[in-house]
Amino acid sequence: MTDLLTQLLADMASVGIVPTDPGAIQFDSREIIRFHVAGDKPGTRNGWWKGYSDHPPAGIFGSWKTGAKHAWRPDQLEDAHCGPWRDRIEALKRQREAEMFCAQAEVADRARRRFMALPEALEDHPYCHKKRITPYGARQDGNLLVLAIQDWQGVIHSLQTITPSGRKMMAKGGRKKGLHIHVGGNPGGRLLICEGYATGCSLADAYQDDEIIAAIDAYNMRPVALASRARFPEREIVLAADHDETGIRCATAAAKAVHGTLLIPPEPGLDWNDYLTRGA
């Protein structure tokens, strides 16, 4: 088992998925194992793994943050076991998809009921004051801003909450890929896709003839752009990037995927909230 774990951790590291606690990685678990990935925000568990140690050893792992997914096999797997290995991988994929579908459906049901029961957010919320934004579309639960994560049919699948200090938390087990936070604006105008909610609120004030959505993070911009292009085949789509390496790289990939355009703050290190509110 130790040899298998050593090889698995090395294979994970080779694609940039490094568990900060290697002891969390277990074989033969009945459930998907989630873990913190080195370099991700503290408290997050974006990494996932599920696999078996024998008959033959096999597994799948990935990152919910980046969307990466990898099938795993030990180097010493004999050719005679390759067919059974492929069968086991396919079974693991089906099992994981079924487990995720059920878990995400439960999260979505709780998210919808919670969001609809909450009052609209107050404009004097400390985060709104700090970011100099109007909380478009947000609800409030105590001192938390609550944002609906939805699809283009308006179905809520999950929630993001923001503390007064600006800490952002996703509903555990909720779906994110391809979904967005709908900030608002003019449905007849261009569609602007940005990363974060505060940036979206600032863009909504600055570009009142356009519609604004937030992709939650840079890595989700391409899936959100693709979902938007499927919904609006002819609409002009603009990717409003943060002016940093990851932001520009992800927004550029998203723009290319949907034949959209880029909108980048003129100064490095700034997002559109920083740029549009710095003189306020």
What count of Cα atoms within 13 Å lies in the side-chain half-sphere of residue 65? 16
CATH code, 197: 3.40.1360.10
Q: Phi and psi (nearest 5°) for 97?
A: -65, -40
Answer yes or no: do 137 and 32 share one domain.
no
Answer yes or no: do 264 and 169 share one domain.
yes
For 131-187, write each residue's pLDDT tens digit.
999 999 999 999 999 999 999 999 999 999 999 999 999 988 888 999 999 999 999
For 103-136, write each residue's pLDDT tens digit.
778 889 999 999 999 999 999 999 999 999 999 9
pLDDT recorded at residue 74: 80
Please say which residue of 28, 54, 77 terminates a domain: 77
Q: What global pTM score does this model have?
A: 0.74
Strands 191-194, 144-150: parallel, antiparallel or unpaired by DSSP? unpaired
Instruction: Flag whether 93 is in a domain.
Output: no
Residues near 30 by beta carbon (within 8 Å), at least 6 away in sequence: none
Ranges of beta strands (E only) in 190-243 are: 191-194, 211-214, 237-240
Answer yes or no: do 64 and 119 share one domain.
no
Answer yes or no: do 153 and 228 share one domain.
yes
Instruction: Flag whether 85 is in a domain.
Output: no
pLDDT recorded at residue 84: 72
Find, among 179, 273, 187, 190, the residue nearest to 219 by Cα: 179
Domain that holds residue 8: 2-77
